[in-house]
Structure 1
Amino acid sequence: MQPRPRRPRAALLGLAGAALLTVTACGGSQAGSGANDTIKVVASTNVWASVAQAVGGDAVAVSSILTDPSADPHGYEVKPADATKLADAKVLVSNGGGYDDFFTGLSDRVADARKVVAFDLSGKGETGEHAEEHSHAEGEEHAHEGEEHGHDHGAVNEHVWYDLPTVRKVADTLATQLGEVAPDRKDEFAANAKTFGDGLTALTTKAVAIGAAKPGAKVIATEPVAGYLLETAGLTDATPEAFSEAIEDETDPPAAAVAETDALVTGKQVAVVVYNDQTETPLTKQLKDKAIAAGVPIVGVTETLPEGATGYLDWMTKQVDSLAGAVSQA
């Protein structure tokens, strides 16, 4: 099963690719390691850059193409200057799954860089009767059989940075790849990845406790961005499918779906509204206002690290804590 294409990504890849080829051709053999022999790592977003930084420590110089916390990654347009960031990079980290195609086009032109693609590691794109991993929608339907609003989307949720097991796989893979670039520091990378993984374990325990404390709790999500986290937390996404798909595809939901969603919120039939702060629309803003008026807590989620976040674990812990606090009020 392949992820459903979400929104058109702007190209400019021909121009960017030419710039990258020019820079690569001019770069010297020492440019890849950067200052003080650090390993140059480039990520598509600052989420994956933060994971690379946690694993690489002071041995890496990490940058990302997308850093603006207010930007919508789906609509990002590649700039020629972006290509220069990838020149001489030793490791490239991206989300994949159709989420950051702008980066895929750039990274394809850096033939000698090691590439870590989170979605590929996740197994979420596997199909078949015996596939061990399922999409957010499939998993939700099976986990909550009999729920009135169980989803059965035909696409895989590509937002795998909210899937904690996948993030662990990315960290472990980065440790291996960085260890191949700098064999003398491979034990350090492995130790960093273990420390990071321990943090993910603690975070998972905290998330699981949310649903355990409030069995059967339902939420509305303006987009399925944090879907994997909601699954881990044992919460049911009660968002009508037609509403969720339309918002994600930037189209108008059917009036019936809007009315059904509004009724769930105004009737306080859900514990929380999970709100994507980076893709607000007039319709989602109206839903947010109705939740506030009804006294339904709102939990904001983002697709990139916001200002002030010190790293992935700090950012995700704050979101989990916010979700836990909101659900506990139900």
Structure 2
Amino acid sequence: MDRRLLAAPAALGLVALSACGPGDGSASSHGSAAAKDGTITVVASFYPLQHAAEQIGGRHVQVSNLTKPGAEPHDLELTPKDVATLSRADLAIYEKGLQSAVDTAVADTAPDKALDVATAADLSLMHGETIGADGHDHAGESAEEHAGHSHGEGAKDPHFWLDPLRYAKVSQAIADRLGQVDPAHAADYDANLKAFTGRLTALDQELAAGLKGCTNRTIVTSHAAFGYLADRYRLRQVAISGLSPEEEPEPAKLAQIATYAKAHRVTTIYAETLVSPAVAQTVAKETGAQTAVLDPIEGITDASAAKDYVGVMQANLAALKKGQSCP
């Protein structure tokens, strides 16, 4: 049984007790104490939502993150203190479908105070097998031809933030909701939003220019986190694992990926920061490729290439330009 599904409900009986206890310095300790000084308490379920809330809210908000630095957000389990923090927040920001424990806790403790960003993100991409059982790319086939091959059931790709323009849409939704919760500072939220989306627009332009002339447009990644980035900048993602990096690929899948990589002259296999690079290294060894880091920015740690979203995206661009032979 999935412990993530049990974590939040099991904690609910302890919410009242936990909410009255002293803070321990964790990310959830802002709580009601912050509200007393006039700031808005915001709980974000993982880093990109935390970052957007901080950039837009500025000095008017206290933002905490349910996913601790270094933790993999897909597998988040909530403690009783986390659930208590969620129940006390003025606003909870999450993405339904990404973290099942958060979905359950929001539904049980804070449904009227929560913002689900999935709608604003326009999760239009469905993840499925990029290559078929024969190891060939079927992306250019007609629907009838494609149906003749074996493909896994698709699921919506939640990694919207790797497309800066989708991230900007989500940021707009966060600013709108903050303005509703705290109308006295709505003008400040709008001004901060304008500045933040300006940085995201500049980042989009930098990515578009940097990836325009790549010799090889196929990126082989550890897990299927880069679909929106690939779609925006006309790359082709081939993922070793699925939407969760914890999925263990079968040996046959690894062989298919290796065959595909060789056929398409892939020279770089991309690993990431929060999970083991072992699988990417296995494919690289099989194909004679090198490895490089492509960060899905699900969290910022000391191992991250920069200290914030824009900086890590710029590091990703540098890695892609080198790995894909871009001018």
Q: TM-score, normalised by structure 2?
A: 0.78
> Residue in 1 aligned with 2:292?
298
- Pairwise mapping of residues 34-53 of structure 1 onto structure 2 (< 5 A)? 34=35, 36-53=37-54
Q: Tell me if structure 2 keeps the 8 A contact 1:207–1:232.
A: no
1:99 CA displacement? 1.2
> Residue in 2 aligned with 1:283?
279
Which residue identity lines up with residue 86 of structure 1 in the other structure?
L
> Residue in 2 aligned with 1:135?
126
SS state of the match for residue 277, structure 1?
coil
Which residue identity lines up with residue 261 of structure 1 in the other structure?
I
SS state of the match for residue 200, structure 1?
helix
Q: Tell me if structure 2 keeps the 8 A contact 1:217–1:236.
A: yes
> Residue in 2 aligned with 1:14?
9
Q: Tell me if structure 1 keeps the 8 A contact 2:165–2:201.
A: no
Describe the superposition over 1:136-158 as per-residue Cα deviations: whole angstroms up to 9, x where unpaired: 55999xx9525999988522212
Describe the superposition over 1:89-109 as per-residue Cα deviations: whole angstroms up to 9, x where unpaired: 11111122x211111222223
Q: Tell me if structure 2 keeps the 8 A contact 1:33–1:40.
A: yes
1:59 CA displacement? 0.6
- Pairwise mapping of residues 176-195 of structure 1 onto structure 2 (< 5 A)? 176-195=176-195
> Is 155-164 or 36-45 further displaced after alignment?
155-164
> Residue in 2 aligned with 1:128?
none
C-alpha separation in 2, matches of 1:139 and 1:265 = 12
Confirm or deny that 1:322 pairs with 2:313.
no
> Is 172-181 or 245-254 further displaced after alignment?
245-254
1:300 CA displacement? 2.8
Describe the superposition over 1:114-136 as per-residue Cα deviations: whole angstroms up to 9, x where unpaired: 32222232222xxxxxxxx4435
C-alpha separation in 2, matches of 1:39 and 1:139 = 43
Kindly, what percent of the aligned residue pairs are identical? 22
- Pairwise mapping of residues 220-231 of structure 1 onto structure 2 (< 5 A)? 220-231=220-231
Q: Tell me if structure 1 keeps the 8 A contact 2:210–2:326.
A: no
C-alpha separation in 1, matches of 2:103 and 2:243 = 26
Which residue identity lines up with residue 164 of structure 2 in the other structure?
L
- Pairwise mapping of residues 224-243 of structure 1 onto structure 2 (< 5 A)? 224-239=224-239, 243=240
Which residue identity lines up with residue 225 of structure 1 in the other structure?
A
Unpaired runs of at least 5, structure 1: 1-6, 125-132
SS state of the match for residue 250, structure 1?
coil
Of 244, 247, 250 in structure 1, the residue corresponding to residue 247 of structure 2 is 250
C-alpha separation in 2, matches of 1:10 and 1:157 = 20
> Is 49-58 or 278-287 further displaced after alignment?
278-287
C-alpha separation in 2, matches of 1:200 and 1:114 = 27
C-alpha separation in 1, matches of 2:79 and 2:315 = 32
User: Structure 1 pair 211/138, CA: closer, same or farther in 2 (3 Å)?
Assistant: farther
Of 139, 145, 166 in structure 1, the residue corresponding to residue 140 of structure 2 is 145
Which residue identity lines up with residue 126 of structure 2 in the other structure?
S
C-alpha separation in 2, matches of 1:246 and 1:77 = 18
C-alpha separation in 1, matches of 2:93 and 2:171 = 11
> Residue in 2 aligned with 1:154?
154
1:326 CA displacement? 2.7
1:265 CA displacement? 4.5
C-alpha separation in 2, matches of 1:109 and 1:260 = 43
> Residue in 2 aligned with 1:121?
120
C-alpha separation in 2, matches of 1:181 and 1:95 = 19
Describe the superposition over 1:145-184 as per-residue Cα deviations: whole angstroms up to 9, x where unpaired: 2599998852221222223333112211111111122222
Q: Tell me if structure 1 keeps the 8 A contact 2:245–2:275.
A: no
Count of paired positions: 306
C-alpha separation in 2, matches of 1:137 and 1:210 = 27
Unpaired runs of at least 5, structure 2: 22-30, 132-137
Q: TM-score, normalised by structure 1?
A: 0.78
Which residue identity lines up with residue 221 of structure 1 in the other structure?
T
C-alpha separation in 2, matches of 1:187 and 1:301 = 34
> Residue in 1 aligned with 2:104?
105
> Residue in 2 aligned with 1:4?
none
Which residue identity lines up with residue 253 of structure 1 in the other structure?
E
1:31 CA displacement? 3.0
Q: Tell me if structure 2 keeps the 8 A contact 1:246–1:252.
A: no
Which residue identity lines up with residue 48 of structure 2 in the other structure?
V
C-alpha separation in 2, matches of 1:123 and 1:305 = 24
